[in-house]
Amino acid sequence: MSLPHRQSIPTRFPQEDNPGGIYVHVPFCRTRCSYCGFTSGIYDPDAKVRYIRSILREIELYAHLAKRTAREFFFNTVYFGGGTPSLLDPEDVSRILVQIRSHLNVVPEEITLEMNPGTVDRARLSSLRRIGINRVSLGIQSLLDSELLLMGRSHAVADAYAAFRDLRAAGFDNVSLDLIAGFPSQTLESLKRSLDSILDLRPEHVSVYLLEVKPGTRLHRLIDAGELPGPDEDLAADMYETLCRDAKEAGYEHYEISNFALPGKQSIHNLKYWTDCVYIGFGPGAHSMDGRTRYANFRDLTDFEKAVEAGDLPIEIKTKLTPEMRFKDALIMGLRLVGGLNLELISERYNVDALQFIKKTVGDLLDQGLLRMQGEILLLTDRGRLLSNMVFSRWV
């Protein structure tokens, strides 16, 4: 349906007062997890050297070829995601950071690096802290060895505890722990055991990945072959309710569908995706959105490398965003926030009558109690968060 427009469409995003984020994708892992659908290959030292050379070149090319974003935008976060960024040497991470700082307007408030247990020791962690990494997202996923084995993780529970202890010893005071919910064979009781142990550690942040079984993964094949049970939606709903309740009781704010934080410790970088900010992604498979266009880089390292060697940005897919696409993206991402989305602000930004649009497209979901209005704020209800994919599908 077409949007109920007000006047003309603004073409620029706020800048100084609403900085963007930089994402760096590191496409290597030690092994392949059974459920993994991310852009990642098995680590080998030669590929790493090629990757570092190419990403440094990509950042330099970006500064020359994407002059508008490189010169006009201001960024305050850098996020190393993967893959397993902790497989990079601290010197590699430092070179990437130096390249970013020397080519873009960046004053990083938050520099996050994703880590997997078993890939770091105290000396490396101290080096990472020294070069400016001030937030870590640690992929614990479960605190039961039997589940880690089925997940195909390359670490054991003891490695997770050791990594957390080493992070604290190295001075990291902003750590997020990742947990998977809804994995086949996981029970409400086993999830609760992992969650209780995680909450006992008092990380500043907890992210929960509600498992989706992706086609092409080993897990998908195991379920197809009847070797593991398929997803159980009722159990996943019970798990989600338990997570939300227990995290809240432990003093964590549930601020996004899958994210919980101690006061003031929300992920500044990830909030950018949910609050309609510009983000630029470097590395194979990385995505960018500059307010006008969405870009997706080549996922394959060789294609990525060839493009930058030829002096081109390694973009595989470029999607010009219409005002309607931008509005709907902002709506979907903003509704992920538990605090909801201010319809008056989004109306102003896109010159759209957002309330009228909501009533026309999801009025029945308001009546059914999946969405609710609180003044100018539109929110998913507790039940709506469980069915958020169904709600969002109305706008895609």
From 17-25, 26-34, 240-248, 313-321, span contacting ligand SF4 (CB under 6 A): 26-34
Contact flag: residue 36 with ligand SF4 (CB under 6 A)? yes
CA-closest candidate to residue 137, choices 22, 262, 267, 33: 267
Provide the 10 A C-beta neighbour count for residue 79.
25
Nearest approach in angstroms of CB 36 to ligand SF4 is 3
Contact flag: residue 33 with ligand SF4 (CB under 6 A)? yes
* Cβ-based nearer residue to ligand SF4, 140 or 308: 140
* Cβ-based nearer residue to ligand SF4, 20 or 27: 27
Helix (H, G, I), strand (E, B) or coil at 375: coil
b/e per residue 352-375 (b: at least 16 CB within 10 A):
bbbbebbeeebeebbeeebbeeee
**Token pair listed for 209:** 């990945």
* Cβ-based nearer residue to ligand SF4, 98 or 162: 162
Contact flag: residue 66 with ligand SF4 (CB under 6 A)? no
DSSP annotation of 283 reads: S
Among 13, 26, 40, 197, binds ligand SF4 (CB under 6 A): 40
**Token pair listed for 133:** 């990494």
Nearest approach in angstroms of CB 388 to ligand SF4 is 22
Nearest approach in angstroms of CB 332 to ligand SF4 is 24
Give one word for 291, left, alpha or beta, with left for phi > 0 and alpha for psi -120 to 50: left
- Calculated CA dihedral for residues 21, 26, 30, 36, nearest 10 degrees: 70
Which string of x and - marks every residue 73-112 that binds ligand SF4 (by CB under 6 A)? ---------xxx----------------------------
Among 3, 24, 26, 29, binds ligand SF4 (CB under 6 A): 29
Among 5, 32, 50, 292, binds ligand SF4 (CB under 6 A): 32
- Contact set for ligand SF4, span 114-133 (CB under 6 A): 116
The burial of 319, by beta-carbon neighbours within 10 Å (0-12 exposed, 13-18 middle, 19 or more buried), is given as exposed
* Cβ-based nearer residue to ligand SF4, 167 or 378: 167
* Cβ-based nearer residue to ligand SF4, 116 or 266: 116
Nearest approach in angstroms of CB 154 to ligand SF4 is 8
CA-closest candidate to residue 264, choices 110, 379, 161, 160: 110
- Calculated CA dihedral for residues 338, 343, 346, 350, nearest 10 degrees: 150
Side-chain half-sphere CA neighbours of 192 within 13 A: 10
Among 4, 9, 15, 38, binds ligand SF4 (CB under 6 A): 38
Nearest approach in angstroms of CB 30 to ligand SF4 is 8
The binding site for ligand SF4 (CB under 6 A) comprises 29, 32-33, 36, 38, 40, 82-84, 116, 139
